[in-house]
Amino acid sequence: MPRDFWLEAGKQGLLGLEIPEEYGGSEAGDYRFNAVLIEELAKVNMALPSCVGIHADIVAPYLVNLTTEEQRGRWLPPFCTGENLTAIGMTEPSGGTDLAALKTTAVKDGDDWILNGSKTFITNGYGADLVIVAARTSPEKKAKGITLFGVESTMDGYSVGEKLDKVGQGESDTAEMFFDNMRVPAANVIGEVDKGFIHMMTWLPQERLSSSVTNITHAAQILEETITYAKERKAFGKTIGSFQHTKFLLADLVTRVEVTQAYVDQAVMQHVEQKLTPVDAAKAKWWSAQVQNEVLDHCVQVYGGYGYMNEYRVARAWRDARVTKIWAGTNEIMKELIARDLGL
């Protein structure tokens, strides 16, 4: 997405909902503003809520809540205007699920830290000016030895690979990044040294809730378009929507979407009241991803051959959605969290 897109989003005040006014944001102070923004973007496609969401909804809480006054003054004003695009780098080529086993290292050298390693699949990674990078600072401590760093793209030793060639969401920039003896000043440590894992766990429920809002809105939008198509497309002299199979199928899909929407809305309200548990966020995330993928697969079927043509929104939506069962914690890991809560 071109930088002009980000500058325009900044001008319209879409990027600073979580940012205090003194740094150029609107400090909306209620997660429902984020949810509405993500919903409107998800009606267009999946890449928009993903890229904008990483910046304005996922990175923002780290930069507001874990930073020093000096860092906020340095990073937040260009964050709101879209002049500085951000990303978050947790996943590495060797694995994303087992976050505590990450291999990127940061070794203290005087007042600075020397980073070595790499990250992959990073949304906004190719164009990002500032990346929150999780690195190992205490090798012997596993989860308790990870620290977050604000890595600026101008730093010596920082490089990004080619934009990754994905199955869907072609317009979003997803990249691999490398740190080669990169010197990061202590002033760029985000939060507490060795507390990075806890910091990441703190903000993951919001990330998973935002994924859920995106998933269900995206499915609902394409389903609505599919119902319209079913009322227009004819076979055997009748609209395909008049066949009992299609009627029952669409009734089933609408029910699945609306029931899921009710659960996601409830989770949104819990989050507004600061009561959303990581387990309930996990339930919303895997379930909405599952429903989204099932609904879109049926929608492709209703469109017949046109459903397989890239020219049609339904085909693109189907491809774009596949990743939602993988990113921000896979469906398997969401179920692990839920099972653990059951005492299993």
CA dihedral 324, 43, 18, 163 (to 10 degrees): 50
Closest CA to 116 of 175, 177, 178: 178
Contacts with ligand FAD by CB under 6 A lie at 54, 87-91, 95-97, 121-123, 166, 174, 323, 326-330, 332-333, 336
What is the total residue count of the chain? Answer: 344
Backbone angles phi, psi at 319, to 5 degrees: -70, -45
**Smallest gap from residue 330 Cβ to ligand FAD (A):** 3
**Smallest gap from residue 301 Cβ to ligand FAD (A):** 25
Nearer to ligand FAD, 87 or 184 (CB): 87
Rounded Cα distance, 141 and 327, in Å: 26
Nearer to ligand FAD, 32 or 319 (CB): 319
**Smallest gap from residue 134 Cβ to ligand FAD (A):** 8
Residue 225 burial (C-beta neighbours within 10 Å; 0-12, 13-18, 19+)? middle
Give the residue nearest to ligand FAD (CB): 96
DSSP for 231-270, written as a single string:
HH-EETTEEGGGSHHHHHHHHHHHHHHHHHHHHHHHHHHH
Nearer to ligand FAD, 219 or 323 (CB): 323
**Smallest gap from residue 120 Cβ to ligand FAD (A):** 7
Which residue type occupies 250? L
Question: Of 18, 39, 176, 207, which is the active-site residue?
Answer: 207
CB atoms within 10 A of CB 110: 9
Show the tokens assigned to 104: 């990127």
Nearer to ligand FAD, 238 or 340 (CB): 340
Backbone angles phi, psi at 86, to 5 degrees: -120, 165
Judge whether 18 counts as a catalytic residue: no
Nearer to ligand FAD, 169 or 270 (CB): 169
**Smallest gap from residue 60 Cβ to ligand FAD (A):** 14
Nearer to ligand FAD, 125 or 241 (CB): 125
**Smallest gap from residue 175 Cβ to ligand FAD (A):** 9
β partners of residue 95: 92
**Rounded (5°) CA angle 15-19-21:** 110
The residues assigned a catalytic role are 207
